Structure 1
Amino acid sequence: MGLTQHPLSDTPANPDTLVLGRRRLRSGVRRSDTSRLRDDIWRLSPALLQCQQPALILNFLAIPARLRPAVKLLFYALLNNKPPAGEQRLEVVTIHGYFQTFKEFLDWLDSRPHDRFNSLTSDDLRQFQKHLQATVSSASQRANHRRSVRLLWTWREHLADDHLALDPERLEDDWHEGNSRVRKQENANPRIPEQVISPLVIWSLRFVDDFADDILAAQDEWLALQKKTRRDPQTGQGARRRLAALMRRYREERRPLPGGTGGQHGINIRHLAREVDCDRQTLMAPASWELIEQARRDVGVDDSTYLRTEIRGLLDGESWLRKVSYDEDLTVLVRILTAASYTLVAYLSGMRDSEVKHLRRGCLAIDADRTGKITRRKITSMAFKGEGTQLGVEATWVVGRPVARAVEVFERLQPKRQRWLFAIPPSSHTHKKPRSTGAKTTKATDNNLNLLVTWINDYCRRHGRTDHVPDVSKRPWRLSTAQFRRTLAWFIGRRPGGSIAGAIQYRHLSVQMFEGYAGTSKSGFRAEAQQEALLARGEGLSLMVDRHEHERLRGPSADEARVRLDKFGDRVRFLGKTPDDSQMKKLMEQNDPRIYPGRFVTCTDNASRRLCRLPGEADTTPDPGQCKPLACRNVASTDSNIQTWLQRLADQDARLQAADALAPRVRIRVEEDRAEIQSFLARAGALEPGDASV
């Protein structure tokens, strides 16, 4: 079956047609060099515009030969033609994904008598669905396979006369598995457990703040030696003089000669040649070898080949590492430093992986006031999701010092000519291999993150330390780039009483971030943190009802709060089990009792009684920052709220006992504040009217 052109479509007839002819290409790519319709392998990388995306191909050699021409027409149409009514233009990555799932259908079809898609019947499609149910365990993956098959119907006008003769949607439940729909949401990514994220951040801070200088110095030394390896060696008499000087240095420093496997007496001749800047044969000459032998007899041979970089970083007052080996440690340590820096940037900024990977040299800006005090640290990158353009838009995030330090480390890791901070480091063994994009892929970053955890745990085991990254359910937690944003949203939304890594305050971090791009609607991060806060409030209210704490509420809105919480508790109990996140989210969206527990009060929100917002203000939720708890009629108080006010009253009493140290105006304000608190507590029944004692 040859390639033909449908008279009513723009399907190509020329085998030389460029398959990326209507796609935007990366800068520097010539369109004439891209894949053509006749090729059996289509290279999609020229149309990948994000620098962290991996190289992608469509390999038609994996398609049954009799179906290959029609499949080429389909995927040419997906790449180039205007989508049919009701369909969206697909991204190149999505098209590649469809190709992968479509192959399952074609492999199944290859064992059947059909050689054209238009001969398939409804029974055939039902049989394929049964095949999926027997071979693919994930419902979402089965749905992906079915969506790729339906392309043969939705794009039929571009497929000449070989397309599905019926819409699979007409099979209804036989095709949809009971019309189930699996909605893909970013928040479906698992949250990193607190016992994992806490030591991970602590060790990442150590690498960036304490160990980075040593690793970067070792990389500089390694790169300098590599330059000598790559260029034409200098030989002759000059090489012997340099060798003699090098051997004197080894003896003066009492440093063993570099060791390793192979070579005479275990000496790493290759490394000595690198240091001398000559070839190995020169060192094997009798006169040169005698110099090496003399040094060996004086200083011996080391167990491996180590760099000369002096380790200066400290861990608990001692050097964190003895020395760095040339062949093993350096490349691993650079990968780990990269992962540690990525952890701080991704976790403490809320940036997506694509946004982190588009950080460039010079992206960090620091604002200071007239005294030189730093007021803002900002990083600029590209945002893609929800922006309506493949090229992305420039965006700015307000960040803290740890993120700024991590960015500075990335700039030092890369040569100055490299603009991408997440490009493959120059010390990597794959640095010189051609890559279609400019930054490490998401998969490579995932691997580095898990290598970081492995290194931490090995290090702790060797040194008898207890600050390792623990297993979860008896298995190592598998990190991925997508988990950091979800985890940060969880901590900001829930705001646990403690703090991670000793000093990171999530409430302050959320305010910082929401001032920048991460807090805008396009970023979606504010919405994610608010959703986590909604879930946390629902769980807290459910627990309050279970413990009957709502029955002890006091204050002007206590009765109303009890009624609302009783109804909410009934709906929770109706589920018959502890609600999971999706159930609690649905419950709160449909039956939110609009009760907001806080440190000082439990707000029973009623818009007509609010004092925290102006009448008619668009926002439909109370504003905790403008709460007037001593005057608002929306206030109810739990036992914990009362205890907080009693402590506040005791604090004011202590201040008044030192009244001589207070300015008169301050003393009057403290006395007024104390009187208001005392009256509030008396109305709540926590103090007898007129009682001046706590």
Structure 2
Amino acid sequence: MAIAPVVNAIRVLERMVPPGQLLFDHHAHDLRGTRTGTGSLTVHSLGVRVEDFITWANQEATAHGLEVIPPDPHGRIGTERFRRSLAWHIARRPGGLVALAIQYGHLRTSVAAGYAARSRDGIHDLLDVETARATIDTVADLNAALENGLGISGPAARRAIKAAATAPQYTGTVITARQARQILANPQLAVYENPHTLLMCVYKRAKALCCHRGPKDTPSLDQCVPGCANIARTDQHAVGLRHYATALDQQAGRVPGPLGERLHDNATRLRDLADAHDRTRTTLRDGIA
């Protein structure tokens, strides 16, 4: 599970090294060739490569008039900080926890837990911390928007508002692995933004319709079911629904009859959802606690 640039990079590496060798085999990548024996590039060498990449990226950005990567006040990035930066971005995408676990080498299971903690520098702690941070970011953004008059609707709207109200106690704090586990175990903070379906999942296991194979601790965001009791929508989602409906109508005009009709029907359905939100939306000023 990876985005296209990662897949392309792996394919390039596979062509750079002999069959059956490590992707970062030091014989293929160490241009000085001073090291004997087998193995991959060292952590130090990879850290140097990260710095070289930043230098190259800034040169390209300057040449094309784009924003450059600013100097880091904490010094060199290094492999560990680079790993955490990647984890931060992956964890904040839909399904990010699963993608993060797969890309970093382990699923969060009791079988892998002990091995991962020893050999992967506590990968499960990393997963927990980044997932907790993403959760706090979601409820903090929602809290700020609600304070500014954002409207919210749906069967889970009240639970979303209550979750958002807890955000200030976490905002700006350094989250440790222990605190992360406490946050993830708090059912009131189980709020997941799902931009692909233009909704927010305020997950409650007993009400979830996405769990076809029994209850789970997290939702399946790629299997959202209309009418689920965990759904909430905001004004921003309603705007997105209408934009998407317009795009579908435009696409419908360029395809054959039956397919075009189906696209028009989907566009109508999305506008109906947006209209339903407008009719039922509530705000903090309405006295909802």
TM norm. shorter chain > 0.5:
yes
Q: What are the Cα deviations for residues 254-294 of structure 1, in whole angstroms up to 9, with x where unaligned?
A: xxxxxxxxxxxxxxxxxxxxxxxxxxxxxxxxxxxxxxxxx
User: Following TM superposition, by how much is the alpha carbon of 1:527 offset from its aligned partner in structure 2, in angstroms?
Assistant: 7.5
Question: Cα gap change, 1:580/1:560 in structure 2, threshold over 3 Å: closer, same or farther?
Answer: same
Distance in 2, matches of 1:418 and 1:605, equals 41
Question: Does 1:520 find its partner at 2:107?
Answer: yes
- For residue 7 of structure 2, the aligned residue among 397, 400, 406 is 400
C-alpha RMSD of matched pairs (Å): 4.6
Q: Which residue is 1:610 aligned to? A: 208
Q: Which residue is 1:585 aligned to? A: 180
User: Following TM superposition, by how much is the alpha carbon of 1:526 offset from its aligned partner in structure 2, in angstroms?
Assistant: 8.0
Q: Which residue is 1:559 aligned to? A: 158
Q: Which residue is 2:245 aligned to? A: 649
Instruction: Report if the CA contact (8 A) 2:135-2:190 is conserved.
Output: no
Instruction: Report if the CA contact (8 A) 1:537-1:596 is conserved.
Output: yes
Q: Which residue is 2:190 aligned to? A: 594
- Structure 1 residues 251-650: aligned runs within 5 Å: 400-411=7-18, 421-423=25-27, 428=32, 430-431=34-35, 438-439=38-39, 442=42, 444-446=44-46, 448-449=48-49, 452=52, 456=56, 460=59, 470-473=70-73, 477-495=75-93, 510=99, 514=102, 518-521=105-108, 522=112, 528-529=126-127, 531-548=129-146, 552-566=151-165, 568-569=166-167, 572-573=168-169, 578-582=172-176, 585=180, 588-591=183-186, 592-599=188-195, 600-614=198-212, 617-629=214-226, 631-650=227-246
Distance in 1, matches of 2:7 and 2:141, equals 35
Distance in 2, matches of 1:406 and 1:419, equals 6
User: Following TM superposition, by how much is the alpha carbon of 1:536 offset from its aligned partner in structure 2, in angstroms?
Assistant: 1.2
User: Following TM superposition, by how much is the alpha carbon of 1:642 offset from its aligned partner in structure 2, in angstroms?
Assistant: 0.8
Q: What are the Cα deviations for residues 124-166 of structure 1, in whole angstroms up to 9, with x where unaligned?
A: xxxxxxxxxxxxxxxxxxxxxxxxxxxxxxxxxxxxxxxxxxx
- For residue 662 of structure 1, the aligned residue among 240, 256, 261 is 256
Equivalent residue letter for 1:679: D
Question: Cα gap change, 1:650/1:471 in structure 2, threshold over 3 Å: closer, same or farther?
Answer: same
Instruction: Report if the CA contact (8 A) 2:207-2:229 is conserved.
Output: yes
Question: What SS does structure 2 have at the residue aligned with 1:632?
Answer: coil
Distance in 2, matches of 1:677 and 1:528, equals 38
Question: What SS does structure 2 have at the residue aligned with 1:603?
Answer: strand
Higher fraction of helix: 2
Distance in 1, matches of 2:153 and 2:225, equals 17
Distance in 2, matches of 1:419 and 1:586, equals 34
Question: Does 1:676 find its partner at 2:269?
Answer: yes
Distance in 1, matches of 2:160 and 2:141, equals 15
Equivalent residue letter for 2:9: P
Question: What SS does structure 2 have at the residue aligned with 1:637?
Answer: strand
- Structure 1 residues 82-101: aligned runs within 5 Å: none
User: Following TM superposition, by how much is the alpha carbon of 1:410 offset from its aligned partner in structure 2, in angstroms?
Assistant: 4.4
User: Following TM superposition, by how much is the alpha carbon of 1:637 offset from its aligned partner in structure 2, in angstroms?
Assistant: 1.0
Identity percentage over the alignment?
Answer: 16
Instruction: Report if the CA contact (8 A) 2:13-2:23 is conserved.
Output: no
Question: Cα gap change, 1:531/1:686 in structure 2, threshold over 3 Å: closer, same or farther?
Answer: farther
Distance in 1, matches of 2:63 and 2:185, equals 52
Question: What SS does structure 1 have at the residue aligned with 2:139?
Answer: helix
Distance in 1, matches of 2:154 and 2:39, equals 58
User: Following TM superposition, by how much is the alpha carbon of 1:644 offset from its aligned partner in structure 2, in angstroms?
Assistant: 0.9
Equivalent residue letter for 1:430: T
Distance in 2, matches of 1:527 and 1:543, equals 24
Distance in 2, matches of 1:546 and 1:684, equals 20
Distance in 2, matches of 1:428 and 1:560, equals 59
Aligned length: 258
User: Following TM superposition, by how much is the alpha carbon of 1:624 offset from its aligned partner in structure 2, in angstroms?
Assistant: 0.9
Distance in 2, matches of 1:617 and 1:438, equals 47
Distance in 1, matches of 2:143 and 2:38, equals 54
User: Following TM superposition, by how much is the alpha carbon of 1:649 offset from its aligned partner in structure 2, in angstroms?
Assistant: 2.7
Instruction: Report if the CA contact (8 A) 1:557-1:604 is conserved.
Output: yes
User: Following TM superposition, by how much is the alpha carbon of 1:544 offset from its aligned partner in structure 2, in angstroms?
Assistant: 1.9
Q: Which residue is 1:366 aligned to? A: none
Instruction: Report if the CA contact (8 A) 2:156-2:202 is conserved.
Output: yes
Distance in 1, matches of 2:162 and 2:151, equals 13
Distance in 2, matches of 1:539 and 1:551, equals 17
Question: Cα gap change, 1:554/1:450 in structure 2, threshold over 3 Å: closer, same or farther?
Answer: closer
Instruction: Report if the CA contact (8 A) 2:14-2:23 is conserved.
Output: no
User: Following TM superposition, by how much is the alpha carbon of 1:655 offset from its aligned partner in structure 2, in angstroms?
Assistant: 4.8
Q: What are the Cα deviations for residues 416-467 of structure 1, in whole angstroms up to 9, with x where unaligned?
A: x999921497863735xxx5x534673541564367369749x959x98877
Distance in 1, matches of 2:50 and 2:208, equals 50
Instruction: Report if the CA contact (8 A) 1:556-1:634 is conserved.
Output: yes
TM-score under structure 1 normalisation? 0.31
Equivalent residue letter for 2:152: L
Q: Which residue is 1:16 aligned to? A: none
Distance in 1, matches of 2:242 and 2:64, equals 43
Question: What SS does structure 2 have at the residue aligned with 1:611?
Answer: coil
Question: What SS does structure 2 have at the residue aligned with 1:619?
Answer: coil
Distance in 2, matches of 1:422 and 1:585, equals 37
Instruction: Report if the CA contact (8 A) 1:595-1:605 is conserved.
Output: yes
Contiguous gaps of at least 5 residues in structure 2: 281-289
Instruction: Report if the CA contact (8 A) 1:460-1:466 is conserved.
Output: no
Question: What SS does structure 2 have at the residue aligned with 1:628?
Answer: coil
Question: Cα gap change, 1:540/1:584 in structure 2, threshold over 3 Å: closer, same or farther?
Answer: farther
Question: What SS does structure 2 have at the residue aligned with 1:650?
Answer: helix
Question: Cα gap change, 1:421/1:442 in structure 2, threshold over 3 Å: closer, same or farther?
Answer: closer
Distance in 2, matches of 1:625 and 1:418, equals 34
Question: Cα gap change, 1:682/1:442 in structure 2, threshold over 3 Å: closer, same or farther?
Answer: same
Distance in 2, matches of 1:418 and 1:683, equals 55
